[in-house]
Each structure stands twice: as C-alpha cells, then as structure tokens.
Amino acid sequence: MDEFDLIRRYFTRATPAAVLGVGDDAALVAPSAGRQLAISADMLLEGRHFFADTDPYALGWKALAVNLSDMAAMGAQPRWFTLCIALPKADPAWLAPFSEGLFALADQYGVALIGGDTTAGPLNIAIQIIGEVEAGLALRRDGAQAGDDIWLSGPTGAAAMAVRHRYGRLQLADADLAYCAARLDRPQPRVTLGRRLLGLASAAIDISDGLVADLAHIARRSGLAATLNLLDLPQPALSDEVLALPDFDVCLLAGGDDYELCFTAAPAQRAAVQALASELKLPLCRVGSMAAGQGVQVLDAVGQPLALAQTGFNHFA
C-alpha cells in the first residue's frame, strides 16, 4: 500500500459539504453568508499526548474531539477539517480502526475531512478544523463582565485520574477506571452546547489544560478576577474512596483533558442556562463568579482561598 492508496482507502469519503474534497492540490469550500470562519488546530504526539499503545480507534476519535472542542468553545458550527499525519508504517491493522474512530465522530457532528498530508515518520497527528459562526457572535475569552457567573458543563478531573493510573501513580478499581478511561479516551466535545450559548454566555473556553489554568485565560483576557467555590464544583461519578484521594482535588482543579466548557454569563441568564441544561441533558453547574481584579482563586468550605500548587498543564513550564 503506497501513500496514495492509503489516502484513498482510509481518508477519502464523499464530501457533499465541500465544493471539492480530497484529491486535488487544495480543497474548495463555500462559507455561508453572514458567518465568520472559526479556524483552529491541535496536534497529538505519541509520548506527549498519548501512550504508544493507545487504542487507534480512541486516537482517531480524540484527535478530532479536541479540535471539535475548540469549535464548541467559540460557539462555532464545525464544518471542515484537514488531517496531517506522520506514520511509522502503513499498517492496515492500525489505520482501519484509527479512521473508524475519526469518522465516527466526524459523522456525529457532520464535519467533513477535506484534505491533509501524509508522511512516514514518528506518529504525529495534526488536525486543522474550520467552522462557522454568526458574524460578531463568537464566544471569546475576553467577553466576561464583572458580576458574571462562572459555569461548567460537567465534572472535571476524571481524565487526569486515568492518566495517573496509566503511569502507575495510583491504582483505580475497575468501575472507576472504566469511567476515567472513557473520559480520557472518548471525550464528548460540547459542540451543541457551544452553539446554544451564543447570545447567552459572555465568554467561554474548553478545559484542555486544567480548570484553573484555563479559567485564568478568561480572567486575563477579560481583565478580571475569577473566584471558584470548591464545594460547588461538580464531582465525577467515582467511588468515595477515589474522591477522597489527595490526588483527586489536584485533578479536579488542575487536571487536563476533560474537554468540558467553562463559560461566564450574566446572573440575569441563570434561568436560561438552567433551561438549556434540562433541554440538552447536561449537568451545567454554577461554580463561581467574576469580579474586578486579576487571577483565579479557589475558596474552600469555609471561604478561605486554597494555596494552589498546580493549576494545569504547560508544555514548557
């Protein structure tokens, strides 16, 4: 199987959403009237973002999921993506499940693979995604206002617990491991929620590096301080023993890879956000508020600020 067979077999699908898809020197797409393009890219490297023995289906899923999550955080409708992939070898036993995982999620969100690049080399997966958002309405990091509530779309921490388990730093029992591994390997990008937050949320970000670190981006870009209440943070469905581990609070506050949305909204929008939670069946949770100042603080059960040893993942820290 050469490079072109490989592209034809595993990465070429009908793309009715594009004017021209895979097979020419460039793809052609027609943006919708009145919308802006939202463009984002995310790279996954073996040994850095995933373990060498990661299930290829999960990898295909996740490579696209992390990009869809960026579209969700902007409130954009994902439309097209490109895939640049370096592969150690052209192995059908790896490529077939990888492309299945990739297209399973692509089909779920109606997003089309329209091109890319394929080379031999150490495993490296880079996806660029293009979405559309109503002009002027994108959910930016700089839109939070003093007095806004801070909301989370779901519990954080479980994905980071799965990473700790895989590194042998802690031992999760089967049921806990199954939950945490699903959060790590098959994140559900909150695309539908992101779309519905247009005109409702004032700012948004997806939690990829850690709750505190990612919320700090909203705080900094909006020129405000963020306060989280530890007791209001939603907890993942894990056993009491796991929730009581000292590592757990670190994962809750600073563990990455959850791909939940963190967003701010005016208190006047509380009822609307709660109605959205029931409609979309998402456990949207109000976890804090924005105020004049800077930085992120987390208040404990008695309202005292926690000393945070770690806020999130940072490649060059």
Residues that bind Mg ion (CB under 5 A): 117
State the SS3 of 48-98: CCECCCCCHHHHHHHHHHHHHHHHHHHCCEEEEEEEEEEECCCCHHHHHHH
**Which amino acid, one-letter code, is at 158?**
A
In the complex with Mg ion, which residue's Cβ is closer, 82 or 153? 82
State the SS3 of 41-54: EEEEEECCCECCCC
**Which amino acid, one-letter code, is at 136?**
G
Which residue of 5, 107, 117, 300 would you call a contact of ligand ADP, by CB under 6 A? 117
Q: Is 11 in the site for ligand ADP (CB under 6 A)?
A: yes
Which residue of 73, 83, 133, 290 would you call a contact of ligand ADP, by CB under 6 A? 83
What angle do the packed helices 174-185 and 158-166 form, to 10 degrees? 110
Closest-approach residue to ligand ADP (CB): 115
Listed residue (204, 177, 109, 188) closest to 155, CA to CA: 188
Closest approach of Mg ion to the CB of residue 84, in Å: 9
Closest-approach residue to Mg ion (CB): 117
Q: Is 118 in the site for ligand ADP (CB under 6 A)?
A: yes
d(CA 306, CA 303): 9
Cβ atoms 180, 158 nearer than 8 A = yes
Which residue of 24, 53, 174, 240 would you call a contact of ligand ADP, by CB under 6 A? 24
Closest approach of ligand ADP to the CB of residue 38, in Å: 20
In the complex with ligand ADP, which residue's Cβ is closer, 128 or 310? 128
d(CA 174, CA 162): 11
Query: Which range, of 23-31, 168-176, 180-188, 224-232, touches ligand ADP by CB under 6 A?
Result: 23-31
85 binds, among ligand ADP, Mg ion, none (CB under 5 to 8 A by kind): ligand ADP
Closest approach of Mg ion to the CB of residue 123, in Å: 18
Which residue of 65, 85, 133, 163 would you call a contact of ligand ADP, by CB under 6 A? 85
In the complex with ligand ADP, which residue's Cβ is closer, 116 or 143? 116
Q: How far is CA 208 from CA 41, 118, 126, in A?
A: 13, 26, 16
Query: Which range, of 17-25, 143-151, 253-261, 270-278, touches ligand ADP by CB under 6 A?
Result: 17-25
d(CA 161, CA 183): 10
Q: Is 174 in the site for ligand ADP (CB under 6 A)?
A: no
Q: Which residues contact ligand ADP (rule: CB under 6 A)?
A: 7, 11, 22-25, 83, 85, 113, 115-118
